[in-house]
Chain A
């Protein structure tokens, strides 16, 4: 269900600040840096993972008729420590607790389930509410101390009494020891019985019920051209009805006999020492319709039609002004930043992040685009976000910012779009910004 005027015309959508989560202190604790953001399937819940291994889940409050302008704010629902730092004694290396990805499972009962992963281990978490407590045990008293059985003369049936709502998260499964390299993505199959985890060279298929075995469905011997990515058809698809997402850096599959490689021919005029690096794909997302794939490389976002693998149908320049800065960005490692990209609910608008806390939206039908900023300055309730502009050189106009003034330490790598409404979550270092479209 999409609200009227949803998404199709950029000028109709005015984005407003809604909320910001996280401290405003100038000194950022590394552990608080948000490393992943994900709405659940209804948009009721919004989960973030951070470098400290914690998961914070926000829940949208019910919209109240009394306060129609407060369109369902997100408040903290549950916080838990998902992963702890580990040490691999065999390799003398630390294993970071940073949460790389969170994926929600569709809700099947009152509890919520999500997968969270760090570099090495995937965990299935159950998040459930408890608002009742049994009272009136026979063998225990109210404090839990055992009662003397000889003192019990009457039997009673314990009753459930209301208590303050408690949300508890419990780890239900731990899937470990299946990846040599860093897990960079997980994806739940539509059968909801299996899921995939992927590192740079391997994709493993798991059954939720089995934690001591995984099935390696793809194993690359070495990294080839990072420009291509792979969508596995036929053999894998025959066994598992739908595969939603694949590991982004996938280059060539050697195991499957039938697969499709999507690759755009390189433009020889643009070739430099950095060509390979900037064409390396950092994120890939199926559209909601399943007809398209969107890929993000360092400078562009591309939309591919699944039926056409020789070139994308659309290419959007995210921050082409960086093309002349590639050497510096290589030196400070920014060229290796992995930006993500997202579709809106109707697949008509795509969004991705950039530097200086800028993020960009592209309307696929009108071809209009906008640059917005997640900043404390524009964080007044329901303040409309002003479009930003980067000036390429020459005269800088009043509201523009020059390329050299961009803050490359402020990067928007992770964003999420509500599945059906114009609500977006943007992770800016340790802050989570929530923007909504303007309610008239």
Chain B
């Protein structure tokens, strides 16, 4: 099952021939492996919108892996290197595709607005009174670069796109770091509702089937099919309700 040639490129321990030259060639070899892992992950994400609906858990885990790699590359400066070297659209394509998961080809053709999801795990986990060190050790999930969306289909100006993308990333990081747990509600209100429609993001189209609301436990809810517009509104209501519960406790 192992592809022979690839084994050597991977991070695998003792079999890694390049790894045995660790003292001499460690850094470039690691970068190469990391890049290969990034490429592999992006391919996986793009392949996931096949005939059958992709598995959500798998998609999220792969996306998180991409994010971890990207963060590490940002930290050790290799990310900046890529940006400034004007490698053109190739690298941006890769970056872009990390935030657009499993879109259907129809959406791509129509140039539809496909929102990415955001993450506020830091706020929620601090609500849960967990170790902050624990929180930090967990890589945050894929971010929501809002500004990117409008630029995705305008590939004529890759430089601008790269700049916007980086700006969006920065915005997101800033937002997450500065917000306190109690302003989770504010956090929600700033973001376009449609970004919170996970159904949309992960299945690549505006979902017309809406499931039951997250009501209080005492009531039954009806899993009626509602129009996608009211999805967003009811999502916001659900969010308010959920936040209420969180804040109260």
Contact A119 B53 (CB under 8 A): yes
Q: Complex: how many Å from CA A179 to CA B222? A: 13
Closest to A274 in B: B65
Query: What total count of A-B pairs have CB within 8 Å?
Result: 187
Which chain A residues lie closer than 8 Å to B52 at the CB level?
93-96
B249 near A257 (CB under 8 angstroms)? yes
- Contact partners of A317 in chain B: CB under 8 A: none
B51 within 8 A of A: yes
5 other A-B residue contacts (CB within 8 Å) besides A94-B51, A179-B211, A182-B55: A221-B198, A276-B138, A277-B61, A328-B1, A393-B14
Residue on A with the closest CB to B216? Answer: A255
Q: With contacts A236-B217, A252-B128 known, is A328 near B55, CB below 8 A?
A: no
Which B residues lie within 8 Å of A327 (CB)? 10-12, 33, 37
The 9 closest A-B pairs by CB, nearest first: A327-B10, A324-B13, A216-B212, A408-B1, A200-B56, A219-B214, A257-B249, A224-B121, A93-B53
* B159 interfacial by beta-carbon distance below 8 Å: no
On chain B, which size bracket covers the interface? Answer: 35 or more
Question: How far does the alpha carbon of A249 sit from the alpha carbon of B60 in the complex, in Å?
Answer: 12
15 contacts between A and B (CB under 8 A): A90-B209, A180-B199, A180-B207, A181-B56, A200-B55, A222-B118, A222-B121, A265-B134, A273-B34, A276-B139, A324-B15, A327-B10, A327-B12, A330-B40, A336-B61
Identify the stretch in B21-29, B148-156, B238-246 within 8 Å (CB) of chain A at 4 or more residues: B238-246
With A180-B211, A332-B1 known as contacts, the answer to whether A214 contacts B223 (CB < 8 A) is: yes
B208 within 8 A of A: yes
B60, B69, B242: most-surrounded residue (chain A CB, <10 A): B60
Q: Which residues of B contact A62 (CB under 8 A)?
A: none
Q: Is the interface of A mostly helix, strand, loop or mixed?
A: loop
A180 touches B124 (CB 8 A): no
- Among the listed A96, A201, A273, which residue makes an inter-chain contact with B65, where contact means beta carbons less than 8 Å apart? A273
Contact of A215 among B6, B40, B221, B246 (CB under 8 A): B221
Contact status B245-A276, CB under 8 Å: no
Q: Which residues of B are at the interface with A, using a C-beta cutoff of 8 A?
A: 1-3, 6-7, 10-15, 33-34, 37, 40, 44, 51-53, 55-58, 60-61, 64-65, 68-69, 104, 106, 117-119, 121, 124-125, 128, 130-131, 134, 137-139, 141, 196, 198-199, 202-205, 207-209, 211-215, 217, 220-223, 225, 238-239, 242, 245-246, 248-249
A324 partner residues in chain B, CB cutoff 8 A: 12-15
Chain B residue nearest to A252 (CB atoms) is B124
Q: A residues engaging B (CB < 8 A)? A: 88, 90-96, 119, 177-182, 199-202, 204, 212-217, 219, 221-226, 235-236, 239, 249, 252, 254-258, 261, 263, 265-266, 268, 271-274, 276-277, 280, 324-328, 330-334, 336, 393, 404, 407-409
Q: A94-B51, A219-B214 are in contact. Are A226 and B57 (CB under 8 A)?
A: yes
> Given A219-B214, A324-B14 in contact, is the A213-B222 Cβ separation under 8 Å?
yes
Cα A336 to Cα B44 with chains together (Å) = 12
Bound-complex Cα distance A15 to B26 (A): 48
A177 touches B121 (CB 8 A): no
Please determine whether A213 and B209 come into contact, CB atoms closer than 8 angstroms: no
B186 shortest CB reach to chain A, Å:
16
Q: Is the CB of A215 within 8 A of B220?
A: yes
Question: In the assembled complex, which residues on chain A have CB atoms less than 8 Å from the CB atom of B44?
Answer: 333
Complex contact A277–B65 (CB within 8 A): yes
Q: A178-B212, A219-B214 are in contact. Are A200 and B57 (CB under 8 A)?
A: yes
CB distance from A434 to the nearest CB of B (A): 28
Q: Collect the chain A residues with CB atoms within 8 Å of residue B209's CB.
A: 90, 177, 180
| A332 / chain B contacts, CB cutoff of 8 Å | 1-3
Q: Contact check, A255 vs B55: say whether CB atoms are below 8 A apart.
A: no
Decide if A178 touches B141 in the complex (CB within 8 Å): no
Chain A neighbourhood of B205, CB < 8 A: 90-91
CB-based contact A249/B10 at 8 Å: no
How far in angstroms is the closest Cβ of chain A from B44?
8
Establish whether residues A407 and B211, one from each chain, have CB atoms under 8 Å apart when the complex forms.
Answer: no
Is B249 a contact partner of A276 (Cβ separation < 8 A)? no
Q: What chain A residues lie within 8 Å of B141 (beta carbons)?
A: 222-224
Q: Which residues of A contact B53 (CB under 8 A)?
A: 88, 91, 93-95, 119, 181-182
Shortest Cβ distance from A268 into chain B, in angstroms? 7
Q: If the complex has contacts A93-B51, A96-B52, A332-B2, are A254 and B40 also in contact, measured as CB distance less than 8 A? A: no
Given contacts A225-B138, A266-B134, contact A92 B128 (CB under 8 A): no
Asked if A93 and B203 make an inter-chain contact with CB atoms under 8 angstroms apart, the answer reads yes
Q: Given contacts A222-B141, A332-B2, is CB(A90)–CB(B56) below 8 Å? A: no
Cα distance A256–B10 in the bound complex, in angstroms:
42
Inter-chain contacts of A408 with B (CB < 8 A): 1
Which residue on B lies nearest to A267, using beta carbons?
A: B137
Chain A residues near B222: list those with CB within 8 A: 212-213
Question: Who on chain A is nearest to B9 by CB?
Answer: A327
- Interface contact A254-B68, CB-CB below 8 Å: no
**Do A204 and B212 have beta carbons less than 8 Å apart?**
yes
